[in-house]
Amino acid sequence: MRNEILKKKGKILLLGNEAIVRGALESGVGLASTYPGTPSSEIGDTFSEIAKKAGIYFEYSANEKVALEVAAGAAFSGIKSIVSMKHFGLNVAADSLMPVAYVGGSPLVVVSADDPSCWSSAQSEQDNRYYARLAHIPCVEPSNPEEAKELTKFAFKISEKYEIPVLLRTTTRVSHTRGIVKLDKLPKRKTKGKFIKDMKKFNNLPPHTMEMHEKILEKIEKIRKLSEKTKFNFILNKNVRSKIGIIVSGVSYNYVIDSLDQLNLKLPVLKIGLTYPLPTEKIKRFIRNKKEVLIVEELEPLMEKEVTRIAKEINPKLKVHGKDILPKSGEFNIETVMKAIMKISKKKFDFNFDAHKKNFEKLKIPRRIPVFCPGCPHRATFLAVKKAAPPGTIFGGDIGCYILGIFPPFETQDFNLSMGANVSVIHGINKVSNQKTIAFLGDSTFFHAGMPAIANLVFNKSNTLVIILDNRYTSMTGHQENPGTGYTGMGDKTTPIRIEDVVKAMGVKNVKVVDPFNIKLMIKTIKKFLKKNELSVIVAKRECQLMAVRRMRYFGVEPDKYEIDQKKCKQCKSCLNNIGCPAINEIDGRIFIDKNLCTGCGVCASICPNGAIKKVKKK
């Protein structure tokens, strides 16, 4: 379906993220790079699908910092480039974002997909609009797919004209909203460039660094003039005379419109698409004759602070509302915004949100904890860990699919911070305590941030055990390729880096590759390595079962199925209670395997004490 994105014209349904890709294509992008992360992943995945057809270069990079640098290199060579990542990704890339901004790396668009409400984010709910202010680069914030496309094009224009990278900041509800987008012309793309030497321009070195700092501040003031007149900063209901006004950016714009509509209310709304630098004069004119203004922005009160400052100058009596009546964390929706507007406009509504919510909460619905998929090799690894590790072992967890080890029945994750972090935290614990420790990380995480951490273990003589769950993909975010998989983001074969070779080359002496489905060998190896007073690494290597099964079915093969011999089963429930497999269910006191769900890993059979679980014979 994604090929549709290359259509010449017409109107098609696009996800916000896909619309960003189309916007880049309509701008003549030549290179795209990314490291995956929800809610940004479909940007990279779409590029991956269409790059060859569109004649552009795309790559999944090893991490976000690398991805940003790759895009900067192309931009330095005069090629329009775009790099996308989730919000924490920009933490990783930030080290290079600052100097790339100073040297005026352009044409370059940096996409940060933030995740208010942490729908798919473990680490933080941070507001990346701060990065625009930190790096002094402009920031645009779309509110729907159509605008996502238009603002991507606008971002490229700003970047090219002012020689500055531009931050395109979306949020989950923009990235993952599908809407109708009108397609414009696809220009001829320039994909071959040339790096023209310019020592002064591209080198960061004091005192020149300070000159660059001054220069970028000047650029931002120039762009502020653009912010005053761009059509993306506009006033809705301009002619409505009211003492109350609303200033809004991003997805919240939709909630404002819907709220006003449902409340049958007309108020002037200043909608801001280029949110840094803010259009100071426009804001002045908007608030000059108002008594109250409501700033509707998710997470941090960034616009609110600036409007408060501007109001001091022009209209000191103005009441600036924002985080006094709107939540500081969590995403907004129509009801949050509606309630805020009702509060300041004194308008009533015939639906009682709070009573409804109370009635709903009375239902006490059991939650659905996400579980490992049937046949997931991570489940098998954790099962072995539970059986092999002595009580009190400290488990350092990480952010891939194996994060689910946090839940019962495993609870093999005592903490998690950011990608790769646990290895070094475990090392710190190891240096000051006598506790047994195991650090977990996945293959993609190993290449992303794990390698320096493991080098440090060798360097500083750690004696922990590290288990690398190598399922051959970046699975959590949608099975993207990584340096270990043997394929590039364009689908070409490349050298797969073997994790076991890397750790051996780094100097780890105890290294063993084990198939997680071989529970007995896994248990034996973990026990053996835990006894050593030396750093050891187990590579638990087996392909993600979702992908293995998908491939089998593609070739018309059904995976093996297991069943329980009800005569032999003594209802000890060790399979039910220790594995947490969605295919194993209890019905009226008896245990059954759901053949629709079983993918034939056989892990349950290998731990059944009564030998009651058998492979179903194929007819």
Ligand X SMILES: Cc1ncc(C[n+]2csc(CCOP(=O)(O)OP(=O)(O)O)c2C)c(N)n1
Residues that bind other proteins (CB under 8 A): 1, 11, 13, 15, 38-39, 41-42, 119-120, 144, 172-173, 176-180, 251, 253-255, 257-258, 262, 333-335, 338, 351, 353, 356-357, 359-360, 363-373, 401, 404, 407-409, 476-478, 576, 580, 582, 585-586, 596
Cis peptide before 39 (omega within 30 of 0): yes
Please check whether residue 111 is in contact with residue 82, taking contact to mean a CB–CB distance below 8 angstroms. yes
- Which of other proteins, ligand X, none interacts with 258 (beta carbon under 5 to 8 A by kind)? other proteins
Tokens of 560: 């093996």
Rounded distance between C-alpha atoms, residue 439 and residue 540, angstroms: 13
- Cis bond before residue 107 (omega within 30° of 0): yes
Q: Which amino acid, 427?
A: H
In the list other proteins, ligand X, none, the entry touching 196 (Cβ below 5 to 8 angstroms by class) is none
Which entry of ligand X, other proteins, none binds 373, CB below 5 to 8 A by partner kind? other proteins
**210 binding partner (options ligand X, other proteins, none; Cβ < 5 to 8 Å by kind):** none
Smallest gap from residue 244 Cβ to other proteins (A): 20
Name 538's bridge partners: 467, 512
Mark 355-394 with x for binding to ligand X (rule: CB under 6 A) and - for no binding: ----------------------------------------
215-225: burial string, b at 16+ Cβ within 10 Å, e else: ebeebbeebbe
Asked if 397 is part of the footprint of ligand X (rule: CB under 6 A), the reply reads no
Which one among 23, 28, 30, 37 touches ligand X, defined by CB under 6 A?
37
230 to 259, contacts with ligand X by CB under 6 A? none
Pick 57 or 402: Cβ nearer ligand X = 402
Binding string to ligand X for residues 521 to 560, with x set by CB under 6 A, is what?
----------------------------------------
Neighbour order of strands in the sheet with 139-140 = 57-60, 31-34, 81-86, 108-114, 166-171, 139-140, 274-276
- Residue 11 is which amino acid? K
Give the separation between CA 285 and CA 271, rounded to whole angstroms.
14
Distance CA 461, CA 261 (A): 65
CA distance 193 to 79: 6
Name residue 585's beta-bridge partners. 592
- Looking at the DSSP bridge assignments, the partners of residue 167 are 110, 139
- Asked whether 526 and 465 are in contact (CB, 8 A), the reply is yes
For residue 473, the minimal CB distance to ligand X (Å) is 5
473 binds, among ligand X, other proteins, none (CB under 5 to 8 A by kind): ligand X
Give the other-Cβ count within 10 Å of 595's Cβ: 12
Chosen from other proteins, ligand X, none, partner binding at 15 (C-beta under 5 to 8 Å by type): other proteins
Contacting residues for 199 by C-beta, under 8 A, at least 6 apart: none
Contact in structure between 308 and 260 (CB atoms under 8 Å):
no
The stretch near ligand X (CB under 6 A) out of 158-166, 169-177, 297-305, 395-403 is: 395-403
Binding-site string for ligand X from residue 429 to residue 458, where x marks contact by CB under 6 A and - marks none: -------------xxxx-------------
Q: Least distance in Å: CB of 560 to ligand X?
A: 23
Among 28, 36, 104, 396, contact with ligand X (rule: CB under 6 A): 36
Smaller CB distance to ligand X: residue 93 or 212? 93
Q: How many CB atoms neighbour CB 168 within 10 A?
A: 26
Query: Rounded to a whole number, what is the distance in angstroms from the first to the last CA of the chain?
Result: 37
The reply to whether 88 sits near ligand X by the rule CB under 6 A is: yes
**Burial class, 133, CB count within 10 angstroms (exposed 0-12 / middle 13-18 / buried 19+):** middle
CA 188 – CA 48 distance, rounded (Å): 19
With contact defined as beta carbons under 8 Å apart, do 240 and 270 qualify?
no
Query: To the nearest whole angstrom, how small is the minimum distance from the Cβ of residue 395 to other proteins?
Result: 19
Q: Closest approach of Cβ 156 to ligand X, in Å? A: 24
Report if residue 401 touches ligand X, rule: CB under 6 A.
yes
Q: Which does 445 bind (CB under 5 to 8 A by kind): ligand X, other proteins, none?
A: ligand X
What is the closest distance, in whole angstroms, from the C-beta atom of residue 553 to other proteins in the complex?
11
C-beta closer to ligand X: residue 35 or 162: 35
Burial class (CB in 10 A: 0-12, 13-18, 19+), 274: buried
# residues contacting ligand X (CB under 6 A): 24
User: Do strands 292-296 and 269-272 pair parallel, antiparallel, or not at all (unpaired)?
Assistant: unpaired
Decide if residue 466 touches ligand X (CB under 6 A).
no
Look at residue 89 and give the partner it binds from ligand X, other proteins, none, a contact being a CB closer than 5 to 8 Å depending on partner kind. Answer: ligand X
* Three-state secondary-structure class, residue 196: coil
Q: Determine if 471 is a binding residue for ligand X (CB under 6 A).
A: yes
Name the binder of 13 from ligand X, other proteins, none, CB < 5-8 A by kind. other proteins
| Single residue of 135, 148, 380, 476 touching ligand X by CB under 6 A | 476
Report the C-alpha gap between 354 and 577 in whole angstroms.
39
CB of residue 162 to ligand X, shortest distance in Å: 28
**399 scored as a contact of ligand X (CB under 6 A):** yes
Instruction: Return the number of the residue (86 or 219) whose C-beta is nearest ligand X.
Output: 86
* Residue 145 or 442 having the CB closest to ligand X: 442
Binding to ligand X in span 42-81, by CB under 6 A: 64
DSSP notation for 304-351: HHHHHHHHHHH-TT-EEESTTTS-SSS---HHHHHHHHHHHH----SS
Binding site for ligand X (CB under 6 A): 35-37, 64, 86, 88-89, 92, 399-402, 419, 442-445, 469, 471, 473-477
